[in-house]
Amino acid sequence: MIRLFAALAVPDEIAEGLARRQNGLAGARWRPREALHITLKFAGDLREDVAADLDAELSTVAGEPLTLELSGVGCFGEGADIHAVWAGVDDNPALKRLAKACDSAARRAGLAAEARVYRPHVTLAYLRRPDPDKVAWWIQANNLLHSPPFEVRSFGLYSSVVTDAGSRYQLEREYPLTPP
């Protein structure tokens, strides 16, 4: 079994800006710069043959290069159940189309369709039972985040291995985004 997801890598210069905000929450498991990404489709744990089918289907996904911007921050969960803080991605119709195309490719490979509404973000930290007031303070202190525009010319299929220090990601395949 291999745990896979399709995602866009965050360029180094954008990751540097995010890294400066990764502080101020006691107990947060801040994601290293090389792990910062925008998920397009989480596939989960797959058998090798299904992973190969997913790779084949993702290789057929067409899309144009994207210009993205990060804007604002937030959290997933409420109260004592807050489990992550993130940086948001400005609304981008081409990004939504790409995520939908990745979801369709995953369905053709035999995976279930995504039930949740697509909400593009970059996870900055995972949290375990944080003080909600401290999370609210962090969000208020960082909510004016706005990155410069950045171009994305490919997306990747990443594997995820869970370790004691957190998940470690490895790019398994890269798929170009080419102009029409």
Q: Has residue 100 got a pLDDT over 80?
A: yes
Q: Has residue 119 got a pLDDT over 90?
A: yes
Are the CB atoms for 95 and 6 separated by under 8 Å? Answer: no
The C-alpha atoms of residue 71 and residue 112 are separated, in whole angstroms, by 30
- pLDDT at res. 44: 95
pLDDT band at 114 (very low <50, low <70, confident <90, very high): confident
pLDDT tens-digit readout, 18-67 = 999 999 999 899 999 999 999 999 999 999 999 999 999 999 999 999 99
Q: Has residue 97 got a pLDDT over 90?
A: yes
Are the CB atoms for 10 and 88 separated by under 8 Å? Answer: no
- pLDDT at res. 163: 78
Mean pLDDT within 109-122: 94
Q: Has residue 164 got a pLDDT over 80?
A: no
- pLDDT at res. 101: 97
Q: What contacts 35, CB < 8 A, 6 or more positions away?
A: 166, 167, 168, 169
Mean pLDDT within 87-113: 97
pLDDT band at 162 (very low <50, low <70, confident <90, very high): confident
Q: Letter for the amino acid at 65?
A: P
Are the CB atoms for 72 and 88 separated by under 8 Å? Answer: yes
- pLDDT at res. 8: 98
Domain boundaries of the chain, sorted by first residue: 2-176
> Encoding tokens for residue 101?
């195309």
Q: For the structural domain made of 2-176, what CATH number should be given? A: 3.90.1140.10
Mean pLDDT of the chain: 95
